Structure 1
Amino acid sequence: MARNRYDVDEVLETPFDFAHLKRSFVYIKKYKGKMITALVLSVFAAISGLLGPLITQYALDNTIPQKNMGQLVLLTLAFVGTIAVSITFSTIRSRIMTVVGQDIIFDIRTDLFKHLQELPFEYYDNRPHGKILIRVVNYVNSVSDMLSNGIINVILECLNMLFIMIFMFFVNVKLSLVVLSGLPIFAVIMMMIKKRQRKAWQDVSNKSSNLNAYLQENITGARVTQIFTREEENAQIFDRLSEKYRKSWINAVKYSNLVWPATDNVSTLVRAAIFVVGLLVLTPAAVSLGTIVAMTSYASSFWQPIMNLSNIFNNFINNIAYLERIFETLDEPATIADKPNAQDIGDITGEVKFDDVTFSYEQGKTVLEHISFDVKPGESVALVGPTGAGKSTVVSLLSRFYDLDSGKITIDGKDISQATLHSLRSQMGIMLQDSFIFSGTIYDNIRYGRLDATEEEIREAAKIVCADEFISEMKDGYMTEVNERGSKLSGGQKQLISFARTLLSDPKILVLDEATSSIDARTEKLLQQGLQRLLVGRTSFIIAHRLSTIKNCDKIMYIDNKGIAECGTHDQLIAKKGEYYKLYTAQHMDE
């Protein structure tokens, strides 16, 4: 998938083969009972419909010449009956397959969502989110009909062709061969169209993905767009992407629209050939009027399944590009996952050790090199240093959001890479710089990580972080609805709610990454009092640019040049007059 660009087409890492289609049968097998029922109903509907031309032939060749009105009435009722049976069975079959199609959509989309939740941060860091969304929503909708009705219809139309051929040869062998003579011509036409058509629809998929990625990015950044008055420039970019999508769609439809006319023209030629052969080549004694009418009807019926198969093939080619991208997402490795022999880490006390840890986000570009340190249970550790030095990376590695290049991280002497992710992260409270608020109530946002929390526990957590006061002043209090990303809350309010959410989980290890960056000085002072109570007995890692907030930490580590440049208490580092001293003095003078 294109990395961080909305204007770069996606490139499939592996070409499509029929193993992908075979793999999709996993979703079909679950509903094989319903699909077989639908197929049987379709067969009865098809056979019922094929009896009509035989009834017509008999009426033209026998009943009408004999002027047998009673028999003609019976034949008419029988003809109407075959139509009624065909329509009834087809309707029931259609309803069954509609349900099956929706069930398949549900299954594929559920698998995609579950897999996306297991993928590492790196996957989302490197990809436009709009290109991920379109796979879960649009692409799944598109392929579901192919996997449900498409497979059934292929079998059904093949059976229809077989039944029609049996009926045709029963009526007249020579005229049946005339009907079949159009197949080689049709096959040549389809071979000419197939390859170009698939490439054209892959291009449509790319352009649709690009457009969706840019749209999602601009919706998320709408405020920034208006602040910098970028509406006109963004509209021009959107127009360019829309124009590329329009051109790719027209090009793809051009190839798709060649299929139906080709089938229709061959069918028309074949029906004309029946009249030519039947009236001019064969003798009237060999071919009756009823036979010609019946064969013409069967010829239309014979080419109808072929036209239907062409449309199915058309739809199949169109959706192959989408199926490829769905499986590409499902095949994306969940690199941060439980190892085969992973075990529950058990109840932890919070002893942390980094042993010669080296890490890089990109191969060959290390962020941290050979870092080693120990943290005793209950100690508070502050990480300071210049922007981009790797402070947030340290706590991300502790939470195993990324795997190490080399070295080892242990908690209570147990290697975290050998522990199950759930047992590890469920005992860690992590508050990142981005205070993400989900749509819903404030109440639900606070208990997001602990659904069994009582109302009293939720309020207590909010009180500790000084959030209870502003929440209680809202019209609906804790039941106040907040929008996606908490757009109607201030930055400080979002951070306090996130703080309450983290603290409610009662973590053994607490990670605060710039947790108070959006909070005013007065609220921060009150918050610090609550935190001091909470930090007792918990191992904590605190990243803060305001050095006044971490003076009382048991250990301060100055991160720079891919490692720990200095380590000690506040007083020790001040006395050393090194990098921390320079940073603290400069900040203190500014204040």
Structure 2
Amino acid sequence: MSDHRKDDEILGKAYDAKLMRRLLSYVKPYKGYVTLAILLNIVVAILPSVRPYLTKIAIDDYIANKDFDGLITIAALLLGTLLSQAVVQYFLTYFTELMGQKIIFDIRVQLFRHVERLALKFFDKTPIGRIVTRVTNDVESLNEMFSSGIVSVFSDIFVIIWIFFFMFTMSWDLALVTLSVIPILFYATFLFRKKVREAYRDVRYHLARLNSYMQEHITGMNVVQLFSKEEEELKKFSSINNDYKNANIRSVFYYAIFFPFVELLSAISIGLIIWYGGGEVVQNTLTLGVLIAFLQYTEMFWRPVRDLSEKYNILQTAMASSERIFKLLDDKTFVKNPENPVKLENVKGEIEFKNVWFAYNPGEYVLKDISFKINAGETAAIVGATGAGKTSIINILTRFYDIEKGAIFIDGVDISKVDKRDLRRYISVVLQDVYLFSGTIKSNISLGSGEITEEQIINAAKTVGAHDFIMKLPGKYDEIVKEKGATLSVGQKQLISFARALAYNPKILILDEATSSIDTETEILIQKAIEELLRGRTSIVIAHRLSTIQNADKILVMHKGELKEVGTHQELLARKGIYYKLYQLQYKDQEVIKSN
């Protein structure tokens, strides 16, 4: 069985007391709602249970004696119970749904807050579709339990208790005959629960597969269409969808057997009442009113039995969902903050790596004994082949990952002793793959920060050369940005990301292949802006095109996770080492392009 399947199947019991205690902890802030709901449930349970008894009184005491006034009184009482039940049921439904929505709101907020805190290492190994399933489908399953599961179970139990009370009060022997089918019901319920549990495990597993597949392939739709893989991917989707459909059909199949069987037992129970109770009525040992009341109570009894079976399914769903939700909440893949963090103040931007070793997977080092120093205000470039460790340096400098050995300092302070949020306040990163959120141009530059004024946003856009194209948009800075900036060109998105970095006025600026996706004309446009952007800041530039970093104060040459060379452009060329070879290769490539 795959690891993914293990994560999505039901690993615990159908009812897990430990999980339930943890779930009920979310109810504690709403004890008032729970108390009110239980009281209303007791009332809702007793009102319908009284009606058959009133019917018995009407038949035996008033109809049999032709007491019309008494019959009017009973009819008024019956009407009163119906109206009272409707009013109480309204408040019960309102308050239980309100409580359920408040609890689900709290759980969703807690989940999202937890996901925000998780380290990137977690997202490296976890499909996004699975996380979405936890926050949407699984949490919604808990909503059913809190809104219509836990509290309404009390109603069903109270109804059954009141029915038993009235039945045994009127005729204990007829009550025993009526309930003689209960052992068969218990056995049938046991089999039903076992089969439904197995079916539900498959439903949840295939639903998670479906969500993951949808998320992955919609995100990568451009690749699917580019390579004309629509039909092949459709076949794979159809297969997964078919598995999900079949799992649901199996689940429905057990319900289709169980509920008619319950109806059959109900019919048998009614038959026993007519056979045994009717015989006693004929022999004048039982009144007609009691017989009719028993028929009504029997019909009432099987309704909560069916409801409890439904509640079991809700409970089963909630147990499975809560197990996965708590597994996510218990995941401690964090880049931990120090207990007593050191405060960064008056940051100048001096960066120093001392004997740093780093691995994404234990023992597989991608950075080996890296040591270098970038003085405040300097621009350092990092070059090297793909996989040399350039981006990894950025990942550990921003503490997206923790290092295995060595230390990293900013202004002489070990960053492992600094709060992550405090550290990242002084660093801005412009990535090769720009991510824009749904919203406006303005909100994508400020990222919703109340500290950044509209004037600062516009100035930042002007500095990087984004202002002109933004002003040509219909909505200008309030232009709506679609998901991932779908309506903007790659170059325009890149310019917005530059404006975003500048708006936060960082002490340390990192450009990770930031101009590789921009056409030559746009690159020329922003080169001067980049020079302004870098001035007065400590900057790290990662670039494949060596022509863009010739003016750097120092160039770090990476090769297979090791720092091989450090120097200026001219110094490294004079050494005729790795940098010289890289430069020669690019120079030749450019000559070939020019000659063509």
Structure 1 and Structure 2 fold alike (TM over 0.5):
yes
Alpha-carbon distance in structure 1 between the residues aligned to 2:430 and 2:524: 18
Q: Judge conservation of contact 1:449–1:505 (CA < 8 Å) in 2.
A: no
Distance in 2 (CA, whole Å) between partners of 1:120 and 1:13 is 26
Q: Which letter does structure 1 place at the counterpart of 2:161?
A: L
Aligned-partner SS, 2:27: helix
Distance 1:293 1:137 in 2: 48
Deviant stretches of 4+, over 6 Å? none
The 10-residue stretch of structure 1 (9-18 or 569-578) with the greater mean CA deviation from structure 2: 9-18
* Structure 1 residues 199 and 13: CA distance shift in structure 2, 3 A: closer
Matched with 1:15 is 12
**Cα displacement (A) at 1:301:** 2.2
Could you tell which deviates more after superposition, 109-118 or 33-42?
33-42
Q: Which amino acid aligns with 1:109?
A: R
Secondary structure of 2:26's counterpart equals helix
Corresponding residue number in structure 1 for 2:29: 30
Paired residue type of 2:544: H
Contact 2:10/2:320 (8 A) holds in 1: no
Q: For 1:12 and 1:508, how far apart are their aligned partners in 2?
A: 48
Question: Which residue of 2 is the match for residue 562 of structure 1?
Answer: 561
Alignment partner, residue 153 of structure 1: 152
The answer to whether the Cα contact below 8 Å between 2:351 and 2:373 also exists between their aligned partners in 1 is yes
Distance 2:246 2:6 in 1: 15
Contact 1:355 1:373 in 2 (8 A): yes
Equivalent pairs counted in the alignment come to 588
Deviation of residue 11 (structure 1)? 4.4
Alpha-carbon shift at residue 580 of structure 1 (Å): 0.3
- Report deviation, 1:227: 2.2
* Match of residue 284 from structure 1: 283
Partner of 1:529: 528
* % identical aligned pairs: 39
Secondary structure (helix, strand or coil) at the match of 2:358 reads strand
Return the offset for 1:266: 2.8
Gaps of 5+ in 2: 591-596
Q: CA deviation at 1:495?
A: 0.5
Structure 2 Cα separation of the partners of residues 587 and 135 of structure 1: 48
Alignment partner, residue 200 of structure 1 = 199
Of residues 575-584 and 300-309 in structure 1, the stretch that sits farther from structure 2 once superposed is 300-309
Distance in 1 (CA, whole Å) between partners of 2:131 and 2:314 is 23
CA 1:99–1:13 in 2, change beyond 3 Å: closer, same or farther?
closer
User: Which segment drifts farther, 264-273 or 154-163?
Assistant: 264-273
Q: Which residue of 2 aligns with 1:240?
A: 239
Aligned partner of 2:209 in structure 1 is 210
Q: Partner of 2:375 in structure 1?
A: 376
Taking the aligned partners of 2:311 and 2:424, their CA distance within structure 1 comes to 48
Q: 1:506 is matched with which residue?
A: 505
Distance 1:140 1:245 in 2: 19
1:260, CA displacement in angstroms? 2.5
Which amino acid in structure 1 is aligned with residue 347 of structure 2?
Answer: I
Farther-moved stretch of structure 1 (188-197 vs 209-218): 188-197
| Counterpart position of 1:417 | 416
Distance 1:449 1:388, change over 3 A: farther
In the alignment, which residue of structure 2 is the partner of 1:399?
A: 398
Distance in 1 separating the partners of 2:351 and 2:62? 96
Tell me the SS of whatever aligns to 1:378: coil
Shift of 1:581: 0.5
Query: Structure 2 counterpart of 1:366, which letter?
Result: Y
Residue identity matched to 2:204: S
- The answer on whether the counterparts of 1:104 and 1:148 sit within 8 Å (CA) in structure 2 is no
Q: Does residue 321 in structure 1 map to residue 320 in structure 2?
A: yes
Instruction: Report if the CA contact (8 A) 1:259-1:310 is conserved.
Output: no
Coordinate RMSD, CA, aligned: 2.1
Instruction: Judge conservation of contact 1:2–1:11 (CA < 8 Å) in 2.
Output: no
Q: Aligned with 1:27: secondary structure?
A: coil
Q: Is the 8 A contact 2:19 2:319 kept in 1?
A: no
Supply the distance in 2 between the matched residues of 1:208 and 1:237 (Cα, whole angstroms): 14
SS of equivalent residue, structure 2 residue 25: helix
- Counterpart of 2:12, as a letter, is P
* 1:457 matched residue in structure 2: 456
Task: Tell me, in whole angstroms, the C-alpha distance in 2 between the residues paired with 1:269 and 1:330.
Answer: 49
Superposed CA offset, 1:381-425 (max 9, x none): 111000111100001100000111222222222222221111011
Specify the alignment match of 1:137 in structure 2: 136
How does 1:540-559 map onto structure 2 within 5 Å? 540-559=539-558
Q: How many Å apart are 1:168 and its aligned residue?
A: 1.7
Q: Secondary structure at the match of 2:551?
A: coil
Distance 2:68 2:107 in 1: 58
| CA distance in 1: counterparts of 2:30 and 2:10, whole angstroms | 31
Q: CA deviation at 1:343?
A: 4.0
Q: Give the drift of 1:92.
A: 1.9
The answer to which of 521-530 and 534-543 deviates more is: 521-530
Report the alpha carbon displacement of residue 105 of structure 1 after superposing the two structures with TM. 2.4
Q: Is residue 579 of structure 2 the alignment partner of residue 584 of structure 1? A: no
- The alpha-carbon deviation at position 333 of structure 1 amounts to 1.6
Secondary structure class of the residue paired with 2:353: strand
Q: Deviations over 1:153-184 (max 9, x none)?
A: 12222222222222222211222223343332
* Counterpart residue type for residue 15 of structure 1: G
CA contact (8 A) 2:45 2:156 kept: no
What are the within-5 Å matches in structure 2 for residues 288-437 of structure 1?
288-437=287-436
Task: Find the counterpart in structure 2 of residue 40 from structure 1.
Answer: 39
Tell me the CA shift for residue 451 of structure 1: 3.0
Measured against aligned partners, the alpha-carbon deviations of 1:183-232 in whole angstroms (never above 9, x if no partner) come to 32222222223233222111111111111221222222222222222221
What letter is aligned with 1:321? A
Structure 2 contact 9–201 (Cα < 8 Å) conserved: no
Q: Distance in 2 between matches of 1:409 and 1:180?
A: 75
Deviation at 1:280, TM superposition (A): 4.1
Q: Which residue of 1 aligns with 2:594?
A: none
| SS in structure 1 of the partner of residue 167 of structure 2 | helix
Q: Which amino acid aligns with 1:215?
A: M
**Displacement, 1:429?**
0.7
Alpha-carbon displacement from aligned partner over 1:325-366 (angstroms, at most 9, x marks no partner): 222222222412323333433342212222221111122322
Match of 2:164 in 1: 165
Are the counterparts in 1 of residues 432 and 517 from structure 2 also a CA contact under 8 Å?
no
Distance 1:178 1:22 in 2: 39
Query: In structure 2, what residue type is equivalent to 1:396?
Result: N
Gaps of 5+ in 1: none
Bigger Cα displacement from structure 2, 292-301 vs 380-389: 292-301
When structure 1 is superposed on structure 2, of 485-494 and 44-53 the one drifting more is 44-53
Structure 1 residue aligned with 2:124? 125
TM-aligned CA distance change 1:197 to 1:421, over 3 Å: same
Residue 549 of structure 1: CA displacement?
A: 1.1
| 1:226 paired residue number | 225
Contact between 1:260 and 1:311, CA under 8 Å: does it hold in 2?
no
* 1:90 equivalent in alignment to 2:86: no
Summarize the alignment of residues 171-182 of structure 1 with structure 2, pairs less than 5 Å apart. 171-182=170-181
TM-superposed deviation, 1:282? 8.8
2: CA distance between counterparts of 1:442 and 1:362? 38
TM-score (norm 1): 0.94
Please give the TM-score of this superposition, normalised by the length of structure 2. 0.94
Cα deviation, 1:481-521, whole Å, max 9, x if unaligned, reads: 12111111111110010010011101111111011112233
Structure-2 change in CA distance of 1:247 and 1:372 (3 Å): same
CA deviations 1:265-286 (Å, max 9, x no partner) are 3333233223333244798343
Shift of 1:556: 0.7
CA deviations 1:501-556 (Å, max 9, x no partner) are 01110111111101111223343234232222332332111101111111111111
Question: Which residue of structure 2 lines up, in the alignment, with residue 441 of structure 1?
Answer: 440
Cα deviation per residue 1:451-491 (whole Å; 9 max; x = unaligned)?
A: 32222211111111111111122222212112111111111
SS at match of 1:43: helix
Q: Quote the Cα distance in structure 1 between the aligned partners of 2:55 and 2:448.
A: 71
State the partner residue of 2:593.
Answer: none
